[in-house]
Amino acid sequence: MGKYSVEEFRSTIGANGGLASANRFQVELPDVSQMISPNALSEVLAPVGMGELNLMCTTAQLPGKQLNVLSREIGIQTKSVANGQVFTAVNLTFYLTGTYDARKYFQYWMNCVVSQDVGQPMFAGYYQNYVKDVKMHQLDRKSDSKKLYSVQLIDAFPTQMELIQLNNQAQTAAMEMTISLAYKTYKII
């Protein structure tokens, strides 16, 4: 390894557009207004403006990937070989407005995965009826329209809606909710 040079480090960062900013991102959620509950008895939800809901996203995670490996013995040598992959859930956090649009949106989507109508039988829906693609973009520091890196979650759907803590403490704190999305795979776009 050569001698460390601050100038070379700065030059490398400058030549590659600077350092990426974690607070410059955009999430594009799908329109779920045409989905129906698996038992077809859910009330129709008035569509939430996707642009407005996308603005309320405060944190997002770009997807990761883990390779499954197993040990394979050939003679007296042991090798690790890949035999599959796992995609961990992506978490999104949203500010809640006084109309709870984010919660209503994801509650509706989750009701299309597994019905939750009181007094009605609960059914799980067909996979192809509740999965949608979700896009995530890392934006440039200087321009909201310039996307540095984008991924598309293929066949995504919400699997967990975190609890929302209500308390009588700090009244100036904004309420937030976190959603976990499962997906089949992702692609870089």
Query: Tokens representing 171?
Result: 């009244």
Q: Is 42 exposed, middle or buried, given 0-12, 13-18 or 19+ CB atoms closer than 10 A? A: middle
CA pair distance 5, 132, nearest whole angstrom: 47
pLDDT of the residue at 41: 56
CA pair distance 93, 57, nearest whole angstrom: 6
| pTM (predicted TM-score) | 0.82
Give average pLDDT by consecutive 10-residue segment, the chain, 189 residues: 77 80 87 77 55 86 90 87 90 91 89 79 84 92 82 96 83 87 94
Query: Tokens representing 141?
Result: 């520091």
The SS3 call for residue 149 is strand
pLDDT of the residue at 184: 94
Q: How many CB atoms lie within 10 A of CB 112?
A: 22
Query: Tokens representing 96?
Result: 């809640």
CA 77 vs CA 67, 72, 73: distances in Å: 21, 8, 6
CA pair distance 63, 49, nearest whole angstrom: 25
User: Which residues, 6+ apart, have CB-to-CB distance to 6 below 8 Å?
Assistant: none
In degrees, rounded to 5, the angle at the alpha carbon of residue 58 between the alpha carbons of residues 178 and 91 is: 35
pLDDT of the residue at 58: 92
